């Protein structure tokens, strides 16, 4: 009986092993199928996000046109179209949005080339910026903005007629006080152990929403923009975070940026010139 039972037990063990192996194979196939499903789902999600971004851009353009119509301003007015396109291209300053979105919106030339071409085709050669004149001066401003604020996101809120053929654009600017911000915009704060402990650590990682404006001066004869003036209020959120003006003043002491978002450049960061200059963030 015992000898006759051994083959039966062996067969049972082999059958059980085969059953376990089959179960493992089914589970492995299930995991592979699930992984493929997740990949397809992620691809669809990425495509949907990109489509939503494109739709949001279209919605913003349509909203601007609606406001122009409500203000009895022709929607084909060159200056207003240029300003709207300016904010689309420079929404992230000198930095591109995510690669997928850029590839769809701006295929071909680099983002820097597109910025330069836009300025050269819509502004005068001697366009007045915050610190000087010309295309290079404006591009250098935005290069530094991206250096100080890698995650900047400037959104156009409203357009209205200003004084003497100017257009005033109201903006909302999202910024993050990152390591790069503190290192390049507030180097004195980083290098002072006492200030860093008391204020720097509190600032690091903070997200601010700034209220700002950009004023574009338009030359009707030349059909081009002749000056751009920008400003944004960093004082209010800084004061809310730090609690008093003394702390705010300590943060901005010898900083490379002022409370109204003017950039103060030294010889290390600017391209030319021996004296310190101010530019607007």
pLDDT by residue (tens digit) across 70-88? Answer: 544 444 457 888 998 899 8
DSSP helix, strand, coil percent of the chain (3-state; round to 5): 55, 20, 25
pLDDT by residue (tens digit) across 27-62? Answer: 888 888 888 888 888 888 888 888 888 888 778 767
Confidence of residue 268 (pLDDT cuts 50, 70, 90): low
Which of the two residues, 4 and 38, has the higher pLDDT score? Answer: 38
State how far the Cα of 35 lies from the Cα of 2, in Å rounded to an integer.
Answer: 49
DSSP designation for 204: T
CATH of domain 77-280: 3.10.450.50
Q: What is the pLDDT of residue 171?
A: 95
pLDDT by residue (tens digit) across 153-205? Answer: 999 999 888 888 899 999 999 999 999 999 999 999 999 999 999 999 999 99
Contact call for residues 91 and 154 (beta carbons, < 8 A): yes
| % of the chain at pLDDT higher than 70 | 79
pLDDT by residue (tens digit) across 98-113? Answer: 443 444 444 445 667 7
Measured over all CA atoms, what is the biggest interatomic distance in the chain, rounded to whole angstroms?
A: 112
Q: What is the pLDDT of residue 241?
A: 95
Q: What are phi and psi of 204, to 5 degrees?
A: -55, 125
Domains of the chain, by residue range, sit at 1-71, 77-280
Contacts of 137 by beta carbon, 8 Å cutoff, 6+ apart: 129, 131
- Beta partners for 174? 153, 209
Q: What is the pLDDT of residue 99?
A: 41
Q: What is the pLDDT of residue 196?
A: 92
User: How crowded is residue 254: how many other Cβ atoms within 10 Å of its Cβ?
Assistant: 11
3-state secondary structure 216-253: EEEECCCCEEEEEEEEECCHHHHHHHHCCHHHHHHHHC
Which of the two residues, 269 and 143, has the higher pLDDT score? Answer: 143
Is the per-residue pLDDT at 272 higher than 70?
no
Q: What is the pLDDT of residue 61?
A: 67
Helix 2-70 to helix 78-89 angle (10° resolution) is 150
Please report the beta strands in the chain, taking only residues with DSSP state E, as ranges in sequence order: 123-128, 153-161, 166-176, 207-219, 224-232, 262-265, 277-280
User: How crowded is residue 29: how many other Cβ atoms within 10 Å of its Cβ?
Assistant: 10
State how far the Cα of 254 lies from the Cα of 264, in Å rounded to an integer.
Answer: 9
């Amino acid at each position: 009986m015992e000898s006759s039972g051994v083959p039966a037990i062996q067969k049972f063990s082999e059958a059980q092993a085969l059953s376990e192996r089959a179960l493992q194979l089914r589970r492995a196939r299930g995991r592979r199928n699930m992984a493929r499903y997740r990949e397809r789902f992620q691809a669809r999600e990425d495509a949907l996000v990109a489509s939503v971004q494109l739709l949001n851009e279209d919605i913003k353009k349509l909203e601007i046109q609606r406001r122009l119509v409500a203000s009895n301003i022709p929607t084909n007015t060159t200056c207003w179209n240029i300003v709207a396109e300016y904010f689309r291209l420079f929404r992230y300053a000198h930095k591109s949005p995510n690669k997928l979105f850029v590839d769809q919106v701006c295929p071909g030339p680099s983002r820097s080339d597109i910025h330069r071409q836009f300025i050269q085709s819509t502004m005068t050669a001697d366009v007045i910026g915050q610190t000087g004149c010309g295309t290079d001066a404006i591009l250098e401003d935005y290069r530094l903005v991206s250096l100080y604020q890698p995650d900047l996101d400037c959104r156009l809120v409203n357009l209205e007629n200003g004084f003497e053929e100017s257009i005033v654009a109201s903006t909302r600017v999202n910024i993050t006080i990152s390591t790069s911000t503190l290192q390049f915009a507030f180097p004195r704060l980083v290098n002072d152990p006492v200030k860093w402990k008391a204020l720097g650590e509190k600032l690091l990682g903070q997200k601010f929403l700034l209220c700002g404006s950009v004023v574009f001066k338009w030359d009707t004869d030349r059909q081009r923009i002749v000056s751009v003036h920008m400003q944004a209020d960093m004082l209010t959120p800084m004061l809310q975070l730090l609690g008093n003006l003394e702390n705010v003043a300590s943060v901005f002491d010898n900083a490379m940026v002022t409370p109204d978002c003017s950039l103060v450049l030294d010889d290390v960061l600017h391209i030319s010139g021996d004296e310190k200059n101010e530019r607007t963030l």
